Every structure is written in C-alpha cells, then in structure tokens.
C-alpha cells in the first residue's frame, strides 16, 4: 500500500529517518504515525492530503503483517462497506500475531490490532485511495459485530442492520456454522427484526 518504515530501508539511505522526514517535508510522503510514512499520490503532492483513517490503518498493518495477513474488520470493515457514515477514531485490524496499538500522528486516532487466524476469515479486496486492502466481507463483518455482546453501541446496531441486507443468506449461515457463530447469527437476526423500519 505504498507505505514505508525507516527500519525497512537501512540499505537505501545512510540516515533513513532523516531522509523520510525530508521527503515528508517536501510533500512526497505523509507521516501516518511515528516511523510510518505513506507515499502521497502524485495529484495530491503539496495539497495537505491525508488518507482516510481506514486506509491509514490498512497501510500501517500491511507493513507489519504483509498484504495477505492484515484484514480490516469490525466497525472499520463496516465503514469500508458503506454501512457507517462517519469514521471512528479507533480502527480495528485482524493480524496473525498480536501487536501493540499504534497512535496516529496526523490526526486523533488509533490502529488497534486483534490477533486472529486471518486465513480463516472471509475477506475480500477493496480499493482505497492508495491501493487495494483486505476487508472482511459483509457476512463476516455481521458475524463479528453480532458476536460482540454489547450491542448498545448504536453504530454497531446500524452497521449490522445495513450489512445484513447486503449479505447472501446461504453464505452467512454457512460461515456462521463453520466458525461456530450461530449465536451471533441469531443475535444479528434479532437486531434486524427489531429494526425492520430502519
């Protein structure tokens, strides 16, 4: 996702941190978090551009876990699927190994990592402003959100209702069965039932 860390390029520059800071100062790179920089799209150089928070999370996670092992999930995935109108300050990314949260430096925000067997998640590639990233499918996202016991969060409820309507019912049930999340499926169906007029 066109993201670079100083520790990944010690052979390219004698002083990689200084070089990355210089490239950020001239508008070629954008600093996402301490040590994480993203290449600014050519048409946005020197415009004050910064990527969407979901893109920033995906870019950082991809440099840590690789493009096939970093998957946006939960409300972050719901936002990528258009189920939430506003971005949230905390993004969630599934990765195979636990990693400490990373605080963004270009805005108020945190990238939170959740250790999951990423090869068992149902995910698809979605294009962002700087390239494709893996995002849990609507079906997987519904199950993940419904699995959270605290559905008092109105964003979770709205996301479940919106995404459930995009789901393939057969695929949703098969996924719930395979992942032993039938209780989450029932919870999602109950939430949908309670919000038929929404």
User: Which residues in the chain come in under a pLDDT of 70?
Assistant: 10-14, 149-152, 198
pLDDT for position 149: 67
pLDDT for position 6: 76
Tokens of 106: 């270009």
């Amino acid at each position: 996702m066109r993201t670079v860390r100083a520790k990944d390029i010690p052979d390219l520059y004698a002083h990689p941190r200084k070089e990355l800071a210089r490239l950020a100062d001239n508008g070629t790179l954008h600093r996402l978090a301490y040590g994480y920089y993203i290449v600014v799209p050519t048409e946005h150089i020197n415009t004050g551009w910064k990527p969407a928070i979901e893109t920033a999370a995906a870019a950082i996670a991809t440099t840590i876990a690789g493009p096939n092992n970093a998957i946006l999930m939960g409300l972050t995935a719901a936002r990528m699927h258009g189920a939430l109108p506003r971005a949230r300050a905390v993004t969630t990314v599934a990765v195979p190994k636990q990693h400490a949260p990373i605080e963004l430096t270009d805005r108020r925000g945190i990238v939170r990592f959740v250790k999951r067997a990423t090869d068992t998640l149902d995910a698809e590639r979605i294009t962002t402003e700087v390239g494709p990233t893996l995002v849990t499918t609507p079906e997987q996202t519904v199950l993940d959100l419904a699995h959270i016991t605290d559905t008092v969060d109105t964003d979770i409820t709205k996301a479940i209702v919106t995404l459930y309507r995009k789901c393939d019912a057969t695929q949703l049930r098969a996924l719930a069965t395979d992942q032993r999340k039938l209780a989450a499926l029932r919870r999602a169906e109950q939430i949908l039932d309670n919000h038929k007029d929404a």
